[in-house]
């Protein structure tokens, strides 16, 4: 049974996860800006709270599928910083032994099953995870994360139809950040929202403010509980905003300045932090201490990643198949 969104413990937990994501994101961007690390990074800045709410709802044995813009989803599901940064830097101690990279973070130990670099590619796979749980009599739920852009690829249609038809325990979490790569939502589809499409599949669909911790938590808690009870999938459209363009370094000329300013003024992580203090659920000292602990954790993870060796060249040829094929 999930606690209600009004429970201060829930909001504190969401903030803790959101802070982990925000500080991790900041650290990556700082390292990229300072030339400390050179990777292709798809920033999650602005989308932390909805992912943190998902992390607060899910159990360790639930499954998550996400996309190349997925650090927030991974960290929310418990992804430790050590193997995350090591993977970013292509080290053998990385989550994927340095063979996947930032777009393919995988950590099945905590249910982080697939991070796909193909827009919409994870949706059909999430159904399979749900199907397996259903057939094996497990009550684990799969949350598949994707952007508004993915709602326009064929895999979305096929996956939602099948999930509804088979009553799969899958929550389709559309993170509507208003941009599909470099093209605005409005220039990508005619409908104002994605969630109403659920009706076309005989599935529940709901649009919610993904930047409002209590609101998104309530919606996700209900969708996950429903899936866990065997009552089928839900399409959740969490409204949010992508602060930093498609990839780090994107000049963002297609994103209106006023729009960005307004979004940043309503920064969901800062808003949640303020709410916790204003409503007396936390105090400044405690939150500062929490943030300091997270920063120290990041320092340690980055240092460990830097010190770790690159994969042995023999790794090039392993993990293609269970056994290396002669020809």
Partner 1 sequence: MSTIDAPGGTRLMGFGEALNDALDVALQIDPTVVLLGEDIDDESTGGNFKITAGLSTKHGDHRVRTTPISEQAIVGAAIGGALGGLRPVAEIMFVDFLAVAMDQIVNHAARLRYMSGGKTPVPITIRTASAGGQGFGGQHSGMLESWFTHVPGLKVVVPASADDAKGLLLSSIFDPDPVLFIESSRLYFGNMAFGEPGGDPRRLHVEVPLGDYRVPLGKARIRREGDAVTLVTYGRQVDDATKVADRLAEEGISVELIDLRSLVPLDLETVLASAAKTRRVVIFQEAVTRSGFGGELAARITEELFDTLEVPVRRLGAPNTPVPYAANLETAYQPSAEALAAEVRETVERKARAS
* CB of residue 202 to partner 1, shortest distance in Å: 12
Report the residue number, 170 or 214, with the smaller CB distance to partner 1.
Answer: 170
Report the residue number, 142 or 218, with the smaller CB distance to partner 1.
Answer: 142
* CB of residue 39 to partner 1, shortest distance in Å: 15
* CB of residue 149 to partner 1, shortest distance in Å: 15
The answer to whether the CB of 53 falls within 8 A of the CB of 217 is yes
Report the residue number, 43 or 121, with the smaller CB distance to partner 1.
Answer: 121
With residue 67 as reference, give the H or E element that holds it: strand 63-67
* CB of residue 96 to partner 1, shortest distance in Å: 4
Could you tell me the CA-to-CA distances from 231 to 67, 93, 204 in Å, in that order? Answer: 26, 40, 11
Report the residue number, 136 or 313, with the smaller CB distance to partner 1.
Answer: 136
Burial class of residue 62, CB neighbours in 10 A (0-12, 13-18, 19+) = buried
Angle, in degrees to the nearest 10, between helices 122-135 and 154-165: 20
With residue 221 as reference, give the H or E element that holds it: helix 213-228
Residue 164: closest CA among 130, 214, 113: 130
Q: Which residues bind partner 1 (CB under 8 A)?
A: 63, 65, 94-101, 104, 106-108, 113-114, 116-118, 121, 123-133, 135-136, 142, 154-155, 158-159, 161-162, 165-166, 318-322, 325-327
* CB of residue 97 to partner 1, shortest distance in Å: 3
Residue 168: closest CA among 140, 147, 195, 194: 140
Report the residue number, 1 or 322, with the smaller CB distance to partner 1.
Answer: 322
* CB of residue 110 to partner 1, shortest distance in Å: 11
E-only strand ranges, 158-266: 170-176, 179-180, 183-184, 204-209, 234-239
145 pairs with which residues across the strands? Answer: 173
Report the residue number, 63 or 217, with the smaller CB distance to partner 1.
Answer: 63
142 pairs with which residues across the strands? Answer: 63, 170
* CB of residue 75 to partner 1, shortest distance in Å: 18
Place of tokens 């249910």: 111
- C-alpha R_g of the chain: 19
Report the residue number, 257 or 327, with the smaller CB distance to partner 1.
Answer: 327
């Amino acid at each position: 049974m999930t606690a209600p969104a009004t429970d201060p413990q829930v909001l504190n937990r969401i903030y803790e996860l959101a802070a982990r994501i925000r500080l991790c994101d900041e650290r990556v961007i700082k390292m990229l800006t300072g030339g400390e690390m050179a990777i292709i990074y798809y920033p999650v800045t602005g989308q932390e709270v909805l992912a943190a709410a998902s992390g607060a709802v899910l159990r360790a044995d639930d499954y998550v599928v996400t996309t190349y813009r997925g650090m927030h989803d991974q960290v929310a599901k418990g992804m430790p910083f050590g193997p995350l940064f090591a993977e970013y830097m292509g080290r053998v101690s990385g989550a994927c032994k340095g063979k996947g990279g930032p777009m393919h973070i995988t950590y099945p130990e905590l249910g982080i099953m697939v991070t796909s670099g193909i827009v919409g590619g994870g949706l059909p796979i999430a159904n399979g995870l749900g199907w397996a749980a259903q057939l094996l009599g497990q009550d684990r739920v799969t949350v598949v994360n994707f952007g508004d852009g993915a709602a326009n690829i064929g895999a979305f249609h096929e996956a939602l139809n099948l999930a509804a038809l088979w009553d799969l325990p899958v929550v389709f979490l559309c993170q509507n950040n208003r941009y599909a790569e470099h093209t605005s939502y409005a220039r990508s589809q005619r409908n104002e929202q994605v969630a109403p499409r659920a009706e076309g599949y005989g599935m529940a669909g709901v649009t919610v403010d993904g930047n409002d911790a209590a609101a998104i938590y309530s919606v996700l808690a209900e969708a996950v509980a429903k899936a866990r009870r065997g009552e089928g999938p839900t399409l959740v459209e969490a409204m949010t905003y992508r602060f930093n363009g498609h990839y780090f370094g994107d000049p963002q000329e297609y994103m209106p300045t006023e729009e960005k300013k307004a979004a940043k003024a309503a920064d969901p992580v800062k808003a949640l932090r303020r709410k916790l203090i204003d409503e007396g659920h936390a105090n400044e000292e405690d939150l500062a201490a929490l943030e300091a602990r997270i920063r120290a954790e990041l320092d340690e993870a980055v240092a460990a990643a830097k010190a770790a060796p690159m994969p042995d060249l023999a790794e090039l040829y392993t993990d293609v198949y269970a056994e290396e094929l002669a020809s």
